[in-house]
Amino acid sequence: MKELSQLAGQVQASTTMAIDALAKQMKADGVDVIGFGAGEPDFNTPDHIKAAAAQAIADNLTRYTPASGTPALKQAVCDRMRADCGVEYQPSQVVVTSGAKHCVYIALRALVNPGDEVILPAPYWVSYLELIKMVGGVPVIVTAEESDGFKVTAGQIRQAITPRTKALILNNPSNPTGMVYGREELQGIAQACVDQEVYLISDEIYYSLLYDGVGFTSVATLGEQVKRHTILINGVSKAYAMTGWRIGYALAEEGVTKVMANYLSHSTGSPCSISQAAAVAALNGPQDGVEEMRRAFEQRRDYLVERMNRIEGVSCLKPEGAFYAMMNVERLLGSTICGERIQTSDDFCAAFLKHGLVATVPCSGFGAASFVRWSYATSMENIQKGLDRLEQFLAKTEK
Ligand code: PMP
Ligand code: GLU
């Protein structure tokens, strides 16, 4: 047999998806496991969105749509982005994809030649690293320390840029850190990109989930030059609790969206017609559900962070957005818990799942080896129980 693609062979499975699948399987097998692995809202998709999908089926909107999305959805994306983020795009500058993850992939496809460097601030969402590899790009990791609030500086980005740099992927608010870049910080980073003709892929999918009154700045509002270098990534998965519907979108210069649309026409054909109708209802319809979910996430964050910081052996920064918290387990490395030797965050998560029946994600796959990610997109009751279990588990630490 001839060998499989070398490029494909380098791609690792998604840790987040794997842990979520494992926790769901354990639950289905009757194990009382609590899952903090998946980054998906535990809320149901709002009723008016589901009704729009049912209506789309009744109206026989069951055929292929244009490859890069229906005109109605592209318009709805422009209107919502203008209202929420103050960015100005035309429908011809929008492509709709089967989820924002695919959108990042297609954006990288549109930009990257084999061997091009793509700068990725760490901690990063696990898929970015693999997506860069999947298009033959070379990831260049720039690390943001916990002591810097997990945020990279413009100076770090400038230093990382070489003649081979094609793009920077920025995720704001961030998965996995929950940190939010302010306008000035963004301005510096964006200017570094503009000065060196580097594209800025800005994944802003968590923009509606901000806490403590923190405001949101989209990089596409930082002036025409920055906007011309920007590919905005967004989608309905997080804000409208629509992870299973698989609708994401990119907004960019027409030259970029045209190439992305060509690529889509051969890869997915078109996004699901029913899901697109549902997304139109999500974006054009009442937005109070978004605020309700945001408030619930904020309460959960407050409880989780406050209590976690009172537990001996671990700590965590207070995230300002998204629904993730980074638990620092550095002080536990080298110890034994429940008879298991803990050398890495992977060891910690494996032992915590086995003995504590709590699923969390080791951040080794996120470029932050001594951290563990908790997604607090789960009920307050689960969060309370999960932290009870953390306390019980850590009580069995031997030095
Ligand atoms: N970007 C980030 C930062 C994410 O956390 C996710 C969640 N999977 C996505 C993109 C992809 O979202 P989806 O494919 O569900 O639209
Ligand atoms: N983005 C979510 C997470 O990080 C969903 C899973 C995934 O797509 O990776 O957990």
Tokens of 244: 């299973």
Please report the pLDDT score of residue 325 as a whole number.
98
Nearest atom in ligand 1 to the alpha carbon of residue 243 is 15
Nearest ligand to the C-alpha of residue 107? Answer: 1
Please report the pLDDT score of residue 154 as a whole number.
98
Tell the residue nearest (CA) to atom 4 of ligand 2.
39
Please report the pLDDT score of residue 352 as a whole number.
96
Please report the pLDDT score of residue 280 as a whole number.
98
Under-70 pLDDT residues of the chain: none
Nearest ligand to the C-alpha of residue 127? Answer: 2
d(CA 132, CA 135): 6
Element at 203 (helix H, strand E): strand 199-203
Output the pTM of the full model. 0.96
Assess contact for 348 and 385: CB atoms under 8 A.
Answer: no
Please report the pLDDT score of residue 83 as a whole number.
98
Please report the pLDDT score of residue 335 as a whole number.
96
Which candidate, 147, 148, 154, 129, places its Cα nearest to that of 139?
129
Please report the pLDDT score of residue 266 as a whole number.
97
Nearest ligand to the C-alpha of residue 235? Answer: 1
Tell the residue nearest (CA) to atom 2 of ligand 2.
39
List, in sequence order, every residue forming a beta bridge with 374; answer none if it has no partner. Answer: 325
Q: For residue range 310-333, list pLDDT tens digits in order.
A: 999 999 999 999 999 999 999 999
d(CA 281, CA 285): 5
Please report the pLDDT score of residue 15 as a whole number.
83
Please state, as a whole number, how many other Cβ atoms lie within 10 Å of the Cβ of residue 6.
7
Question: Of the residues 14, 170, 175, which should be mutated to test ligand 1's pocket, given the most ligand atoms within 8 Å of the CB?
Answer: 175
Tell the residue nearest (CA) to atom 12 of ligand 1.
100
> Pocket residues for ligand 1 (CB within 6 Å)?
39, 99-101, 125, 171, 175, 203, 205, 235, 237, 243, 248
Please report the pLDDT score of residue 16 as a whole number.
85
Tell the residue nearest (CA) to atom 4 of ligand 1.
175
Q: How many angstroms is it from 163 CA to the middle of ligand 2?
A: 32
Assess contact for 219 and 213: CB atoms under 8 A.
Answer: no
Nearest atom in ligand 1 to the alpha carbon of residue 236 is 16
d(CA 116, CA 214): 35
